[in-house]
Structure 1
Amino acid sequence: MTDRPSTEDFLRLADPMRRELLAHCYRMTGSVHDAEDLVQETYLRAWRAYDGFEGRSSLRTWLYRIATTVCLTALESRGRRPLPTGLGAPSTEATAPLVERPEVPWLEPVPDGMVGAGADDPAAIVTSRESIRLALIAALQHLPPRQRAILVLRDVLRWRAAEVAEALETTTAAVNSGLQRARAQLNEVSPSLDDPTPPLPHDQREQLDAYVAAFESYDVAALVKLFTRDAVWEMPPFIGWYQGPEEIGRLISVNCPAEHAGDLRLVPVAANGQPAFAVYFRQGDIYTAFSLMVLTLAAEGIRHVAMFFDVGLFEAFGLPSTRPVEERASTTN
């Protein structure tokens, strides 16, 4: 009987997979904070069971099996994490009172760097970014947990049906049936998910610069011109969502606390493989954390903004809670 491997040996072999396992747990849960906890639980379980690992599969496959089981167990006692558009209500009038639901476990964005979408390998970057797009993560929340696991293991990780069946302790026929139902449900709630997300061309980078300039100068009219005709704006924990440039403009005019140029500061970050900004609001001599917004771009303009008011997310993105007023944000990402 071989000696139990040391913690150092186990971590040396398993640690390089931590970011991809975090991405897997994030796809399953829709929460960066839950994903971090579940990866920790995965490594703890794997360490405890490592002396029984016989090498019949790769260490990566074995860790994914454990992570999937950990996620499914956690999801038994947790509800789905929606965005406001996923609650089933129609779009809201911009002048209607804001209704906040802080008790809802809302979907959370994830920093690219935490899940490998900021890696050096271009192919890995494309794969990671496509599989953590905010629209995909939101759509996955509509699936029952086991269907979610089947779809992620088959369509994202490209496992064979037999491998998924073994991991989930079910039959290949059940996996194929579950995958078919999951794909149909995903297409129903978000039929545009198959559209690839291309690298930002030069004109869209200019569009982002214009977006930052309009926000920081509090030029609502300039902002309105940047949205597509069917653009959607949503901002958990508020349950309303708003469609169309004019409605979005009215919403900002009525409810944004900014009053003058310089009241807001946008700092570029990368979330869910998409352009994103940390928004700071000026209070006296400092800017304080206000929100994180994730943008979805189309050829004709900005088609979706998810503005997350959970300032606890700033820590996950490695961002300070305050910034000096004189500090200028970089315009490159």
Structure 2
Amino acid sequence: MEANKILFFSAKPYDKAFFTQHNAAYGFELDFLETHLGPHIVNAVDEGTFAVCVFVNDKLTAEVIEVLADKGVKVIALRCAGFNNVHLETAKRLGIRVCRVPAYSPEAVAEHAVAMLLTLNRKTHKAYNRVREQNFALTGLLGFNLHGKTVGVIGTGKIGRAFCKIMLGFGCKVVAYDLFEDSELSNLGVQYSTFEEVLKQADILSLHCPLTPDNKYLICQETLNLMKPGVTIINTSRGGLIHTSNTIEALKTGQIGYLGIDVYEQEDKLFFKDLSGMIIEDDTIQRLMSFPNVLVTGHQAFFTEEALSQIAETTLHNVQQLNKGEEPDPAVILI
């Protein structure tokens, strides 16, 4: 009998809804667990499970993957683009295939980055609360025009490209750094430069690159010193791109004027959970949220109907192809 069970970890009600809907065309047996995948739960995986489907905060260490292999798991299906939480060498050694969703409505993430930028700048979140209390005063709500500002973009893949196009529409000068220049963006007016020059020129800096061992703490004391005083930084990529304690110091001195983060290095202990009735012991995130010029959202940049539909469809299609012994698109297969 062909194995067709997919076990989901870190599953939320919206995951169950979208995957169940799209599974009507595939016929897999789906099982959903709310807990994240890690050493504490991996032994609960049933033998005969063909694939585990995981998200950004699941921990697929070498130890975890070895247990999955012993259980007969053949596929690790990431329902996200990033894969820094998977020990790929162990998966390859044990013959487990790893696939991902390399692009799911890049506009969703790009638009959220712009929403964070506008919220911080025009202080619409503060205005909303004021007006509800019948306070219509404008003092403290002063912003600045985006038109004419220099926007630096680090990473011009699908999400970075979408973000660049939006900022060009605002009338911004867009400078970018990427290992591979995008000729379409260059033709539209994006100016590619060195990483250091982008940092020096940018009034606004937006990060759109994956997290790798080479770029961890891309934003740190050294690189912050290259930036204009009062720079605005937006990060919708991965929390590890930013050295948080260095960033807090830069906020205190005014080197950073505004900070918007949808990701956080220690987010696995916080994000995707309702902690409203609990004491959060993470002093760093509490310090960040205490700044009036910092906006934190809980890794929601991807969270649109279009993106969730594409994530479900692409993930199920990847697993189906691997189950049939076929090779998915090279962009989605990691090993």
TM-score for both structures, normalised by structure 1: 0.23
More helix by share: 1
